[in-house]
A and B are shown apart, each in its own frame.
Chain A
Amino acid sequence: MTRLTPRVGVTGRFAIAAALGALTVGLLAMFAVDRYATAALRARVEASDRDLAERIAVGFDDQILRGIAALKREGQAEDLLTLDRARATPALAAALRAPSDYAVLTLHDRMGRAIASAAAGSLADPSRLPTRRDVVDRVRADGSAISVASGRVPTMEIAVAVESPPGTVVGVLIAEMSLEVVGNTIASFRVGRDGSASLLDQQGATLVHRDRGRVVRSHHVEITPSVASSAAFTRIDRQDGQEFIVSVAPTKVFPGAVALERSIADATGPVSGGRRNLTLIVLISVAATAVAISMAARRVLAPLKPLAAAVADLGSGDASARAPEPKRGDEIGLLSVQFNRMANALEERMTDLRGTNHRLADAQQRLDDAFTNAPIGMAMLSLDGRLQRVNQALLDLLGYAEDAVLGGTFEDVAHPSDVGRGGPPGGADPGDAGSVSGIEMRLLRADEATVWVVMNISIVSDAEGAPVQLFAQIQDITDRKAIEEELRRVDRAKSEFVANAAHELRTPLTAVSGFAELLNHRDTMSAEDVAAVCAGLQRQGTRARILVERMLDLLRIESGTIATTLQPLPVDAVVRSALALAPAPDDRTVEIALDPDLVVVADDVALEQVVSNLLTNAYRYGGRAIAIRGSQSNGLVRIMIEDDGPGVSPTTAAHLFEPFNRGRDVMGPGSGLGLAIVRKLMASMEGTIRYEAREPNGARFVLDLRGHRGQGPRG
């Protein structure tokens, strides 16, 4: 998530920009003011110095005049020259060269006060020389040197050319520097300690420091004609570290020049002060500008904050987020309005989408439910046949838990004989057109039981039609298969029955048709023969009829068209009426041994038929003595019909109650259906019949039927 609070906001940027702008403006102003101030100051200093130089020059001239006048008064300056400037210089020079000449030098400060004076002349008497309080030899940074006299130096200095005749001692003040202005130039000559002098060039002034005649340093000052009337500044750094401005101005009265020295500190003092003030002003204005700009910016940008908040809210899903609509119509206000319109449209769309999503989720849910709750097994498989999703019906069908099945294939649970019949359509190639339906195969359940299923597999494609999954429906058809099998069996049985029946009919019909045909020749037959034929016809016809009747009986019982009414019946009575239906032949005896109170729940007609059939069977296949016994226990009535005949072999006994099974070891014209009918009749009365061998020999048929409750449990 990107930071939503800017590190340096618009306000900040504006403030910084404004501050930088103000700073730039301020610095430029300072620079300009500085230069202007310096220039103004310089001009002012120049002007004042010029003025001062003038005054000093005048004063100096004045003093020199007075000095000279004093000298004159004292009678020492007889041959002082007049102060005619035009001739002054050579005259002065000449006068100063005179061996007996002397000059009085006076140093004045700005105020015109004499600072020091010196006299030059023959110094036969050194004690007449004025003394200096202090003489400082200064070597200027530019190489010039000036001897200064006075403790108040360095406010002002005057350099004067002095020449002393050879041999004279020029007191302790040695003006090592001299400037002489000749006309518009300066000419100078020098007097050294050793009395040597030199003449400088006339184009400028070279300040030369000599020591014992050797030039130690020199500094040249250009003096132009215009300078003669103005002051020329030279900046000079003195040995004691102070800075000075030297200006040279010509004296008016006396040919010479006045050099003014002024401390830079003094001169620039006001400028520094001014500069400091200016710096302060600039800083304050920068700060004020920054503050003003940032306040303005903040005001302008204020509506952006709620707009940003609204955007953030909208972004995190709150469709109702809106920005406050501004009163004024600037760009930010417009942005807020546009944002709100966009938010409105978005909200609408979101509501639509939500609705669609709900419907989709709904549909998906219903589909899922349909899948999960479907009554037949369903599965989603990958294209290579792996189970990805199964429903409960399929799990129930297979008897596995879900996690045992997912990831596997149908082949894993297929019956070994049916492996390969299931699986994805067309093997692993999903490109095969379409689905497979109606595959019948067996699957093995978890409990090893087999289920028959019919499987339909279809291909699920995506929107572009590419196959993505397989959908399988699996239906348990075990019951249907069982029914089909049963139907087949019943069909077979029916066919067999029909075949057997037809087969059984062949013999009597052969006899009937044969006898009938024989009767065609009755004319050639004896009466006994004819009688025998007729009797045979009758017998076989009856036999055929009975056979058909019994078959129909069997069918009727099976199809349930014979109604049985179960009611309590006295066993004794039923047995006796059955005996009446099937009376014993002469060579047989039938013994009835049962409790006369024995009551059974049965159908009277059916039970009668059962007993009579069994009696007939006994007469046909059994022995001489036949017995009918009855008993009851635990609500069950048991009737037994037994004989002492040959009985039935075990192999025959196994199929005894099946239709048409007379067995190989019995003879006779029975229909072969008697016992089958008996079994069906017993079943229709909810009873059972079974055969058991009688010891030592004979057959016993055991009938079990429901007893009547009224007799009590012990019976």
Chain B
Amino acid sequence: MGKVLVVDDESDLSLMVRMALRMAGHESLEATSGEEALEVLAGQAIDAMLLDLHLPRMDGWEVLQRVRADPACRELKIIVMSAHSSPGTKERAAHLGSDAYLTKPFALEELTNIVASALA
């Protein structure tokens, strides 16, 4: 239903999410780093981005800020993924412009629901 970019340096996790997304009917792309993610975003129209905060070199926060600063990505739905579940992190993510927050570990159903609602 939508084109979802999965940004995570853990390849197995990325694989799992992409398979789940595919099963839910979404098209998925992957990026293993922040720079790669920005490259992809610049090159294609993406509907939603699942963004892991913990990335090598450029971390998820920076990606979030850059993307939100980019007017071209205004419509992009960003779902932040993280093992951290502290309210501070969630607040910060929301403050920086994320649309949803997914705490690892998550059930697949949770994943698909959040994506669905973000794309809706």
Residues of A within 8 A of B (CB): 503, 506-511, 513-515, 517-518, 521, 524-525, 529, 532-533, 536, 539-540, 664-667, 669
A664 to B19, CA, bound (A): 27
**CB-defined A-B contacts under 8 Å, sample of 6:** A511-B13, A513-B105, A514-B105, A518-B16, A524-B23, A536-B15
Kindly list chain A residues whose C-beta atoms are within 8 Å of the C-beta of B12.
508, 511, 515, 536, 539-540
Instruction: Give the shortest distance, in Å, between B81 (CB) and chain A (any CB).
Output: 9
Cβ-based interface call for B107 (8 A): yes
Chain B 90-106 per-residue mask, 1 if CB under 8 angstroms from chain A, else 0: 00000000000000111
A532 to B84, CA, bound (A): 28
Chain B 5-47 per-residue mask, 1 if CB under 8 angstroms from chain A, else 0: 0000110110111011001000000001000000000000000
A666 to B111, CA, bound (A): 28
A540 to B12, CA, bound (A): 7
Q: How many A-B residue pairs have CB under 8 A?
A: 64
Minimum CB distance partner of A532 in chain B = B15
The 10 tightest CB contacts between A and B, nearest first, are A510-B105, A514-B16, A506-B83, A536-B12, A517-B108, A511-B12, A510-B104, A506-B104, A667-B56, A511-B13
Kindly list chain B residues whose C-beta atoms are within 8 Å of the C-beta of A509.
105
Contact call A664/B16, Cβ cutoff below 8 A: no
Minimum CB distance partner of B82 in chain A = A506
Kindly list chain B residues whose C-beta atoms are within 8 Å of the C-beta of A514.
13, 16-17, 20, 105, 108, 111
Q: Scan residues 56-109 of chain B and give those whose CB is less than 8 A from a CB of chain A.
A: 56-57, 59, 83-84, 104-108
Instruction: Give the shortest distance, in Å, between A490 (CB) and chain B (any CB).
Output: 24
Contact call A506/B105, Cβ cutoff below 8 A: yes
Minimum CB distance partner of B10 in chain A = A507
Kindly list chain A residues whose C-beta atoms are within 8 Å of the C-beta of B106.
510
Kindly list chain A residues whose C-beta atoms are within 8 Å of the C-beta of B83.
503, 506-507
Kindly list chain A residues whose C-beta atoms are within 8 Å of the C-beta of B20.
514, 517-518
A510 to B16, CA, bound (A): 9
Contact call B56/A665, Cβ cutoff below 8 A: yes
Identify which of B13, B32, B59, B111 contacts A664 (C-beta below 8 A): B59
Kindly list chain A residues whose C-beta atoms are within 8 Å of the C-beta of B10.
507, 511, 669
Identify which of A503, A510, A521, A540 contacts B23 (C-beta below 8 A): A521
Please classify the interface of chain A as helix (H, G, I), strand (E, B), loop, or mixed, using the class held by over half of its residues: helix
A533 to B20, CA, bound (A): 11
A342 to B31, CA, bound (A): 117
Identify which of A510, A540, A665, A669 contacts B57 (C-beta below 8 A): A665
Contact call B56/A517, Cβ cutoff below 8 A: no
Instruction: Give the shortest distance, in Å, between B96 (CB) and chain A (any CB).
Output: 19
Kindly list chain A residues whose C-beta atoms are within 8 Å of the C-beta of B104.
506-507, 510
Which one of B17, B32, B104 has the highest number of Cβ atoms from chain A below 10 Å of its Cβ?
A: B104
Contact call A518/B13, Cβ cutoff below 8 A: no
Contact call B107/A513, Cβ cutoff below 8 A: yes
Contact call B16/A511, Cβ cutoff below 8 A: yes
Kindly list chain A residues whose C-beta atoms are within 8 Å of the C-beta of B111.
514
Instruction: Give the shortest distance, in Å, between A508 (CB) and chain B (any CB).
Output: 8
A673 to B59, CA, bound (A): 22
Please classify the interface of chain B as helix (H, G, I), strand (E, B), loop, or mixed, using the class held by over half of its residues: loop
* B side interface size, CB within 8 A: 22
A507-B10, A540-B12, A667-B9 are contacts. A518–B56 as well, Cβ < 8 Å?
no
Kindly list chain B residues whose C-beta atoms are within 8 Å of the C-beta of A664.
56-57, 59
A503-B83, A506-B83, A664-B56 are contacts. A517–B107 as well, Cβ < 8 Å?
yes
A676 to B59, CA, bound (A): 25
Identify which of A506, A510, A529, A669 contacts B19 (C-beta below 8 A): A529
A565 to B44, CA, bound (A): 61
A638 to B108, CA, bound (A): 51
Instruction: Give the shortest distance, in Å, between B86 (CB) and chain A (any CB).
Output: 11
A507-B10, A509-B105 are contacts. A515–B16 as well, Cβ < 8 Å?
yes
Minimum CB distance partner of B106 in chain A = A510
A532 to B22, CA, bound (A): 14
Kindly list chain A residues whose C-beta atoms are within 8 Å of the C-beta of B32.
667
Kindly list chain A residues whose C-beta atoms are within 8 Å of the C-beta of B19.
518, 525, 529, 532-533
A665 to B56, CA, bound (A): 5
Instruction: Give the shortest distance, in Å, between A371 (CB) and chain B (any CB).
Output: 56
Kindly list chain B residues whose C-beta atoms are within 8 Å of the C-beta of A511.
10, 12-13, 16
A524 to B56, CA, bound (A): 34
A669 to B11, CA, bound (A): 9
A664 to B10, CA, bound (A): 14
Kindly list chain B residues whose C-beta atoms are within 8 Å of the C-beta of A521.
23
Which one of A507, A517, A521, A664 has the highest number of Cβ atoms from chain B below 10 Å of its Cβ?
A: A507
Kindly list chain B residues whose C-beta atoms are within 8 Å of the C-beta of A507.
10, 13, 83, 104
A524 to B25, CA, bound (A): 12
Kindly list chain A residues whose C-beta atoms are within 8 Å of the C-beta of B59.
664
Instruction: Give the shortest distance, in Å, between A540 (CB) and chain B (any CB).
Output: 5
Known: A508-B12, A513-B105, A533-B16. 6 other contacts (CB 8 A): A506-B104, A510-B13, A514-B111, A515-B16, A540-B12, A667-B56
Kindly list chain A residues whose C-beta atoms are within 8 Å of the C-beta of B57.
664-665
A537 to B111, CA, bound (A): 18
Minimum CB distance partner of A666 in chain B = B56
Minimum CB distance partner of A664 in chain B = B56
A641 to B90, CA, bound (A): 42
Minimum CB distance partner of A508 in chain B = B12
Instruction: Give the shortest distance, in Å, between B17 (CB) and chain A (any CB).
Output: 7
Kindly list chain B residues whose C-beta atoms are within 8 Å of the C-beta of A518.
16, 19-20, 23, 108
A226 to B24, CA, bound (A): 194
A524 to B9, CA, bound (A): 27
Instruction: Give the shortest distance, in Å, between B23 (CB) and chain A (any CB).
Output: 6
Kindly list chain B residues whose C-beta atoms are within 8 Å of the C-beta of A513.
105, 107
Kindly list chain B residues whose C-beta atoms are within 8 Å of the C-beta of A515.
12, 16
A518 to B23, CA, bound (A): 9
A508 to B23, CA, bound (A): 21
A667 to B34, CA, bound (A): 13
Kindly list chain B residues whose C-beta atoms are within 8 Å of the C-beta of A533.
15-16, 19
Contact call A536/B16, Cβ cutoff below 8 A: yes
Kindly list chain B residues whose C-beta atoms are within 8 Å of the C-beta of A665.
56-57
Which one of B16, B20, B83 has the highest number of Cβ atoms from chain A below 10 Å of its Cβ?
A: B16
Instruction: Give the shortest distance, in Å, between A663 (CB) and chain B (any CB).
Output: 9
Instruction: Give the shortest distance, in Å, between B41 (CB) and chain A (any CB).
Output: 21
Kindly list chain A residues whose C-beta atoms are within 8 Å of the C-beta of B107.
513, 517
